[in-house]
Chains A and B, each alone.
Chain A
């Protein structure tokens, strides 16, 4: 299989272009996605190739972007819309949490809403409290929404292509801090990463670290430092929170007997709480220690980039937590 080394943002761009070439029902909409190519440059070149009917620059209008996508999806097209920052999903809350999540159900399955909402998420460095939050747990708490968090360029491409081909609404949380991160990406137009399949990023037997988004690479850094002392951590990236591949996680914990769940979202009532609960429900008698969670402090994110980093888990904190968990 041939590969190219490209950035995470460009991998998303390739996924969009390939799917738009494959299926003319696929189209995109959002603020500044056309002429500008998106505030993060993810949609560059798409207006030129696909034209203004399929690459639509909207007004500042989140309810329309998502609600319009819902209406367009139930009438036979496949919208992939961008909110400039994941935080703005709150502005389109009714459209996301009521329309996308519920309209198939309340209508007895007669409507289908194949919408992908692309949500640039997480800290970037100084973007501030209303442009930096990790809100995926809200979506995970709402039946009817699939929730995707790619951590590598190859996954960004493969998961987005799978999300576009999925008949259900998908919230696609792309990490702003990963946009420039490069990695090998299959060039195959059929490179699909199925939703609901975790990736084991690193094998180990000392403990299981479950991490999402930006925390995957920080957990791998921590694991390398632990390995220098002969501690081999297993690192699992669920890749999608809904559906959640709990089997892969539980199977790992049954071998390692210890689990640390790490995410960038605030710790209280985050996705980690759900994952930890499911681990203890299913692997209680394999555990040698409580399941631990690391997440952001229970505060809004400060605007200052240095203060901001104090709020989210660092590689050193993940390493320290792992060492402490191993002493229990």
Chain B
């Protein structure tokens, strides 16, 4: 993809994810929500930049903050919102609600661990499938600075490195593991330093810059696809709102108002995307989100029998 074309596509997706985030904020403020929403506003560049560097048939395990990962990987917005609102139009047919377990194997979106950090072994396992089936599919695993503490990272990283599994780990370091600042969670400034212990590259990138994330992720994906093993990418970003929407964040002193986004990914992309094009994409994003919201909210709730379905194959 030519540079200008890539920047425009990244802008389209970042603007779309942003429009969803803002519309969800509004919806939750006005109507409440049947679950917990973990906002990803301000972190769109990491999710979009990295997920768009994957091929459609590559695998992705997402983290809990936002839905940019799944949207950028190719899932339909109507399905994602259907999951959030627990409607039959959701990818899980109405098993969602709140922070949903959206899934779409046809575009490689395979889920997220409800227990943080459990994505690591799952992602390594998907990468074993690529080796066994002789495909060149790469698996991307997203996680936060909090989940980076889990022993599952060590266990999966060690084995994935020994076997040169085609995995890329993308850490969204937003500085906060719920109420714990990264300075109290890591002895080193960079989580990427931990890659050295496993003999894999550890790369730090500006997580607000979608183009930079896309480039770094692309290199790591190429490396994995070529059989050279995993890479740990740490994208520095910032949590703008609470752990969940409604979290008053009394523990924080580093924020202004939960609205202003320092080094906003949208502003950075607007430096390379012509203003007219960007304005047009903003309008289209808002219209698309509005239509998808209306459709999701109008869709039916699942039949009660759904609670018994899907336990067994």
List the one stretch of A1-9, A54-62, A150-158, A306-314 in contact with chain B: A54-62
Q: Is B309 a contact partner of A70 (Cβ separation < 8 A)?
A: no
Task: Give Cα A74–Cα B130 distance, bound, in whole angstroms.
Answer: 12
Q: A64-B156, A106-B95, A108-B103 are in contact. Are A77 and B129 (CB under 8 A)?
A: yes
Q: A76-B133, A99-B122, A105-B310 are in contact. Are A110 and B91 (CB under 8 A)?
A: yes
Residue in A closest to B105 when the chains form the complex, CB atoms: A110
Q: Would you call B121 an interface residue if the criterion is a C-beta within 8 Å of the partner chain's C-beta atoms?
A: yes
Q: Is B313 a contact partner of A68 (Cβ separation < 8 A)?
A: no
Q: Would you call B25 an interface residue if the criterion is a C-beta within 8 Å of the partner chain's C-beta atoms?
A: no
Q: Would you call B155 an interface residue if the criterion is a C-beta within 8 Å of the partner chain's C-beta atoms?
A: yes
Q: Would you call A73 an interface residue if the criterion is a C-beta within 8 Å of the partner chain's C-beta atoms?
A: yes
Q: Given A71-B122, A71-B139, 17 more contacts at CB 8 Å?
A: A63-B152, A64-B124, A67-B118, A67-B122, A67-B156, A71-B110, A72-B125, A72-B129, A74-B122, A75-B110, A75-B130, A94-B115, A99-B118, A105-B310, A107-B111, A108-B93, A109-B313
Q: How large is the interface on B (under 10, 10 to 19, 20 to 34, 35 or more residues)?
A: 35 or more
Nearest CB of B to A104, in Å: 6
Q: Is A103 a contact partner of B111 (Cβ separation < 8 A)?
A: yes
Q: Is B113 a contact partner of A71 (Cβ separation < 8 A)?
A: no
Task: Give Cα A98–Cα B113 distance, bound, in whole angstroms.
Answer: 9
Question: Which of chain A's residues have a CB closer than 8 A to the CB of B163?
Answer: 56
Task: Give Cα A68–Cα B121 distance, bound, in whole angstroms.
Answer: 5
Task: Give Cα A290–Cα B124 distance, bound, in whole angstroms.
Answer: 51
Question: Which of chain B's residues have a CB closer than 8 A to the CB of A29?
Answer: 128
Residue in B closest to A61 when the chains form the complex, CB atoms: B155
**Shortest beta-carbon contacts, A-B, top 10:** A71-B125, A67-B121, A108-B92, A167-B313, A68-B125, A71-B122, A75-B129, A109-B310, A72-B125, A107-B103
Q: A63-B151, A108-B92 are in contact. Are A168 and B158 (CB under 8 A)?
A: no
Q: Is B126 a contact partner of A72 (Cβ separation < 8 A)?
A: yes
Residue in A closest to B309 when the chains form the complex, CB atoms: A109
Task: Give Cα A35–Cα B59 distance, bound, in whole angstroms.
Answer: 31
Q: Would you call A46 an interface residue if the criterion is a C-beta within 8 Å of the partner chain's C-beta atoms?
A: no
Q: Would you call A144 an interface residue if the criterion is a C-beta within 8 Å of the partner chain's C-beta atoms?
A: yes
Q: Would you call B169 an interface residue if the criterion is a C-beta within 8 Å of the partner chain's C-beta atoms?
A: no
Q: Is A67 a contact partner of B159 (Cβ separation < 8 A)?
A: no
Most interface-central of A63, A66, A70 (chain B CB within 10 A): A63
Q: Is B104 a contact partner of A68 (Cβ separation < 8 A)?
A: no
Q: Is B104 a contact partner of A110 (Cβ separation < 8 A)?
A: yes
Q: Would you call A111 an interface residue if the criterion is a C-beta within 8 Å of the partner chain's C-beta atoms?
A: yes
Q: A76-B133, A111-B110 are in contact. Are A61 and B118 (CB under 8 A)?
A: no
Q: Which of B32-79 contact A (CB under 8 A)?
A: 59
Q: Would you call B162 an interface residue if the criterion is a C-beta within 8 Å of the partner chain's C-beta atoms?
A: yes
> Chain B: residues with CB nearer than 8 A to chain A?
59, 90-95, 101, 103-105, 110-111, 113-115, 118, 120-133, 139, 151-152, 155-156, 158-159, 162-163, 309-313
A interface size (C-beta, 8 A): 43
Question: Which of chain A's residues have a CB closer than 8 A to the CB of B94?
Answer: 108
**Among the listed B90, B93, B104, B128, which residue makes an inter-chain contact with A71, where contact means beta carbons less than 8 Å apart?**
B128
**Among the listed A27, A53, A71, which residue makes an inter-chain contact with B121, where contact means beta carbons less than 8 Å apart?**
A71
Q: A105-B311, A106-B95, A110-B103 are in contact. Are A64 and B159 (CB under 8 A)?
A: yes
Question: Which of chain B's residues have a CB closer than 8 A to the CB of A98?
Answer: 113-115, 118
Task: Give Cα A104–Cα B310 distance, bound, in whole angstroms.
Answer: 6
Question: Which of chain B's residues have a CB closer than 8 A to the CB of A75?
Answer: 59, 110, 125-126, 129-130
Question: Which of chain B's residues have a CB closer than 8 A to the CB of A68?
Answer: 121-122, 124-125, 128, 156, 159
Q: Is B92 a contact partner of A107 (Cβ separation < 8 A)?
A: yes
Most interface-central of B123, B128, B158 (chain A CB within 10 A): B128
Q: Is A64 a contact partner of B155 (Cβ separation < 8 A)?
A: yes
**Among the listed B95, B110, B155, which residue makes an inter-chain contact with A108, where contact means beta carbons less than 8 Å apart?**
B95
Question: Which of chain A's residues have a CB closer than 8 A to the CB of B114?
Answer: 98, 106
Q: Is B105 a contact partner of A61 (Cβ separation < 8 A)?
A: no
Question: Which of chain B's residues have a CB closer than 8 A to the CB of A80?
Answer: none
Q: Which of A256-270 contact B (CB under 8 A)?
A: none
Q: Would you call A234 an interface residue if the criterion is a C-beta within 8 Å of the partner chain's C-beta atoms?
A: no
Task: Give Cα A79–Cα B121 distance, bound, in whole angstroms.
Answer: 14
Q: Is B131 a contact partner of A111 (Cβ separation < 8 A)?
A: no
Nearest CB of B to A142, in Å: 11
Q: Is B133 a contact partner of A77 (Cβ separation < 8 A)?
A: yes
Task: Give Cα A106–Cα B162 distance, bound, in whole angstroms.
Answer: 32
Nearest CB of A to B54, in Å: 14
Nearest CB of B to A228, in Å: 45
Question: Which of chain A's residues have a CB closer than 8 A to the CB of B123?
Answer: 71
Residue in A closest to B123 when the chains form the complex, CB atoms: A71
Task: Give Cα A59–Cα B141 distance, bound, in whole angstroms.
Answer: 21
Most interface-central of B110, B121, B127, B152 (chain A CB within 10 A): B121
Question: Which of chain A's residues have a CB closer than 8 A to the CB of B95?
Answer: 105-108
Task: Give Cα A213–Cα B96 distance, bound, in whole angstroms.
Answer: 40
Q: Would you call A25 an interface residue if the criterion is a C-beta within 8 Å of the partner chain's C-beta atoms?
A: yes
Task: Give Cα A75–Cα B61 distance, bound, in whole angstroms.
Answer: 12
Task: Give Cα A98–Cα B94 distance, bound, in whole angstroms.
Answer: 20
Question: Which of chain A's residues have a CB closer than 8 A to the CB of B132?
Answer: 25, 27, 53-54, 72, 77
Task: Give Cα A77–Cα B133 distance, bound, in whole angstroms.
Answer: 8
Task: Give Cα A59–Cα B156 distance, bound, in whole angstroms.
Answer: 10
Question: Which of chain B's residues have a CB closer than 8 A to the CB of A69?
Answer: 125
Q: Would you call A143 an interface residue if the criterion is a C-beta within 8 Å of the partner chain's C-beta atoms?
A: yes
Q: Is A74 a contact partner of B126 (Cβ separation < 8 A)?
A: yes
Q: Is A61 a contact partner of B111 (Cβ separation < 8 A)?
A: no
Q: Would you call A112 an interface residue if the criterion is a C-beta within 8 Å of the partner chain's C-beta atoms?
A: yes
Task: Give Cα A189–Cα B40 distance, bound, in whole angstroms.
Answer: 53
**Among the listed A67, A77, A144, A168, which residue makes an inter-chain contact with B152, where contact means beta carbons less than 8 Å apart?**
A67
Residue in A closest to B307 when the chains form the complex, CB atoms: A105
